Amino acid sequence: MEITAENNGLPTTGCPVAHTAAGFSFFDREYQEDPGASLAWARESQPVFYNDDSDYWVVTRHEDVKSVFSQFNQYSAAITLQPVTPSSEEAGAQLAKYNFAPCPGLVDSDPPAHRQYRRLNAPAFMPDRIGTLAPYIRETTCAYIERFIDRGHADLIADLLWDIPCLVALHFMGIPEEDVNTVRKLATSMTEFVWGRPSPEEQVRAADGLGQFWEMGERVVGKLKELDDPPGWLGHAITLQREHPDIITDTWLQTNFMGTAMAAHETTTNATANAIVTLLRNRDQWDRLCADPSLIPAAVEECLRMSPSVAAWRRVAKQDMQVGDVTIPAGGKILMVIASANRDPSVFDDPERFDIDRETNPHVAFGAGTHMCLGNHLARLEMAIYLEELTRRLPHMTLDEQEFRYVPNTSFRGPESLHVSWDVELNPVVT
């Protein structure tokens, strides 16, 4: 039966709310700990539902998530970077102090503008360009591991995965490394403000950090524009601006500085942390990687399926759209739960089983369609190198007993800390 506001006995302005859906919240611990598992009930009996708690239509099955991602003429990306929690007047005033005025960028623009942005910028994200970063990633990873390998324990977030993806992101973008701590701090403000549910006081504080991030983007872009041959992806974009000033504006550069710095850092930090937790909880699979590093690329894909760092992404319906048995009205805000789509039993055999030997793995951890994440090649390269070096240097590493904590938000997921330990007497001799 088709579900609409009318046949659900609600006013025409209302939305259908099933009993199970009514009690669901993206900000509950169950979703934060395992978003894919938390929506198993939805995949089975109510794959598309309206969630009154967030005012979003939630899409949970693989086919439907891919369909919404791919139909860019029917679903707009314009909502992608709008705050999930509407900003208060106080937060808006705080942003106004910084003249905060971003424009649509790579992730939240629609065709034809998006097609132009992607075509011009894609070369900087291709494997041949990304591959040149491998020596830097490996050298930096080994240097960080050396700092704690003889200690016998580590918080892999604080000691390894918080700095390095940010350093790599800055290196890729062409930003001086001395800005790493500032980028790291301010990117967290962006995550909290856009995808979280901060209290009024927290929202104002996050807005201040977001405003500082905006100002930083202006400074960085200004410095790079003074160079004849600016480095990195930002340098590539600045060179493009000289040829296409009507497409690549200063505001566009500033906006995408923020989005790329945040995404390249936070998503890879979280994805790698999630992968390590998953692998160490499945010890037989970790041991196989230690014995045979050639299995690591497949392991990366299975980790991305099982525990993606981007749990959900957003769109808005341009017109009334049928998704499964549900009519999503024009203007309806949609949350596509990637973590749920990656556990869909109609696509993945025994989806709750972690298996690096899957012959096919069509996960949607990087989205799908024209907006598929341009940074997927860099993320995969980084994850593979981190796992190569950790399995080589610390094959005997184990998870400590701990309670993992996550920053409550709809879309980005990774533990705030990751404590591991090992017997230093068993450290392999590395040549």
Kindly state the DSSP code that residue 57 receives in the 8-state scheme.
E
Residue 359 contacts by C-beta under 8 Å, 6 or more apart in sequence?
Answer: none
pLDDT, tens digit, 9 for 90 and up, residues 44-91: 999 999 999 899 999 999 999 999 999 999 999 999 999 999 999 999
Residue 141 · residue 411 · CB < 8 Å: no
Token pair, residue 264, equals 């390249």
Check whether 13 has a pLDDT greater than 60.
no
Res 90: pLDDT: 97
Which CATH class, in words, describes the domain spanning 86-282+366-426? mainly alpha
Backbone angles phi, psi at 328, to 5 degrees: -90, 125
pLDDT band at 31 (very low <50, low <70, confident <90, very high): very high
Query: What's the CA gap between 233 and 129, in Å, rounded?
Result: 10
What contacts 314, CB < 8 A, 6 or more positions away? 56, 79, 80, 333, 334, 335, 336, 411
Report the pLDDT value the prediction gives residue 124, as an integer from 0 to 100.
93
Res. 242 pLDDT band, cuts 50 70 90? very high
Beta carbons of 232 and 174 less than 8 angstroms apart: yes
Determine which helix (DSSP H) or strand (DSSP E) holds 134, and give its type and residue range: helix 134-148
For 296, 389, 415, the CA distances from 149, given in Å and listed in that order, are 21, 12, 21
pLDDT class of 291 with cuts at 50, 70, 90: very high
pLDDT of 2 > 50? The answer is no
Residue 15 has pLDDT above 70, yes or no: no
The DSSP secondary-structure symbol of 429 reads P
pTM: 0.91
Domain ranges within the chain, ordered by starting residue: 1-70+311-349, 86-282+366-426
Kindly indicate the confidence band of residue 348, based on its pLDDT and cuts at 50, 70 and 90: very high
> Mean pLDDT of all residues in the chain?
92
Task: Please compute the mean of the pLDDT values over residues 333-338 and round it to a whole number.
Answer: 97
Band (pLDDT 50/70/90 cuts) for residue 263 is confident
Encode pLDDT of 267-277 as tens digits. 999 999 999 99
pLDDT in tens, 105-148: 999 999 999 999 999 999 999 999 999 999 999 999 999 999 99
What Cα–Cα distance (Å) separates residue 69 from each residue in 64, 76, 297, 312? 9, 9, 25, 11
Quick one: average pLDDT of 278-283? 98
Which DSSP string do the residues of 318-380 spell out, in sequence order?
SS-EEETTEEEPTT-EEEEEHHHHTT-TTTSSSTTS--TT-S-----TT--GGG--TTHHHHH
User: Cα separation of 304 and 299, whole Å?
Assistant: 9
* Integer Cα distance of 383 and 390 in angstroms: 11
Q: Give the Cα separation of 26 and 35 in Å (integer).
A: 8
Across 329-342, average pLDDT: 97
CA 25, CA 31: separation in Å to the nearest integer?
A: 8
Q: For the structural domain made of 1-70+311-349, what CATH number should be given?
A: 3.30.43.20
**What would the two tokens of residue 274 be?**
């999630």
d(CA 305, CA 295): 16
